[in-house]
Structure 1
Amino acid sequence: MEEEEEDYMSDAFINSLQDVRPGMSMPRRVKECYEKEEKHKEANIKNRQQKLKDVEKEKRDTKLNEALGNENKGFALLQKMGYKKGQALGKKGRSGIGHEEMKKRKAEENLESYRRKIQMRKHDEEQAADDFRMRMKSKREEIRLKADLSKSQRACMLLDGQKSISTPREAWYWPKMNEQEADEEADEETEEDEDLVEEELSMMKTWNRTAQGILQKITTDHESTIIEIFGKCIIPGLLRAKILTAINIAHI
């Protein structure tokens, strides 16, 4: 009896075959060792790349710190264009052409304007002092005239009393009774007012000279000189503010 041919399409043929998987199955420990070795190789490659970058950076910095010699064609060309050794490349300032001159001229104009204001203020202060002096002089003359009139009236009343005259020929020949005491007090106050006026005028002159002297120094001396002056004399708050303003303008 002839052997029957195997049916390659049947399940029996498939089940009779051995289960052979591709590759080899490795133990877990061997697999971990293999992964560690791969990671170690990758780390070595990265370290070599990093070291190479450090070496390149060090060489680059060394070359950049070295000055170019005259044999360098580019350096020789820069020297012909006006470059000097040790000078930085590029523009020094950010201002445009003529801006610095305009800024300097503006500062000089501001300083000159401030000087004119100081001169005008000085003239106004002198004028105010003269006006004050004239007013006080007129007031003193008026007080003196009243005192002379009062003395004359008292003298007339005294002479008329010696002649037993009880009524003056004119009412204004004699002082009024309530004005007589006031005139006596006015004589005493006149001398005190004159001393007070002279003292005020002297104080105004002193402060004016102090202010002008300090403001004059501002345009010629340093700020340390002004501070030194502040330590030597007492200066009012308004004058101190003027001086500090002048310092700021002088330093523009």
Structure 2
Amino acid sequence: MPMLRRTKEVFKKEEKQKEANERSRQKSIKEQEKEQRDTVLNIALGNENKGFAMLQKMGYKSGQPLGKSGKGIVEPIPLNITTGRSGLGHEEMKKRKAEENLENYRRKMHMRKQAEEQTADLFKLRLKTKQEQLQVKRDLVKSQKACQQLDMQKGLESPKEMWFWLQPEEEKEDDVDAEEEEEKEEDEFDVSDSEKLIMLTAYLREEHLYCIWCGTTYDDKEDLSSNCPGDTFADHE
């Protein structure tokens, strides 16, 4: 169903966007810290630094290797810095917390999706029921018209049952547009119409060898049994 497909796509986009925003925020913080650290480390030590001042008193000059032999290192040993001001284990705890938050968010989205699907299933079930009601009414009117015509062809002046023939007030219902019928509020299935349809179609098949869904009068019962798919609307779909 298009509505469900769009809902799923929205959920996926929301999850991806949230993950991307979190990664972007973490990246931005780390980049700022790295820029500040690199700026400080790239500034050479001056005379105000006590350690550097002591080296100068011993004859050291900037850019000169360390040691009496002059073979020592020129550049300072690189620093292995841990970013952040938290204690040991804090990063792991923060990562675990972020994963829990993400899992909670996904669980919430899953529950929302299930609620949407259940609502859609109920809507489809109600729509199907209304369509079945309308189909029964249409088939009943069709059967009544066919019964009246076939009975009169056999010389009958009145129906076997009063409702076997279409009554004048019922003819108006047949002229109502199908779309307008679907908009009417019909909360309960019309059982009486369903039972009438079963009885009337059985009468048409038995007395006239006629099937309303085939729209055919068969030669005999064997012909009807062999060539008609069945005695219900569903058999002819």
**Could you tell me the TM-score, scaled by structure 2's length?**
0.39
Q: TM-score scaled to structure 1, two decimals? A: 0.37
Q: Which structure has the bigger radius of gyration?
A: 1
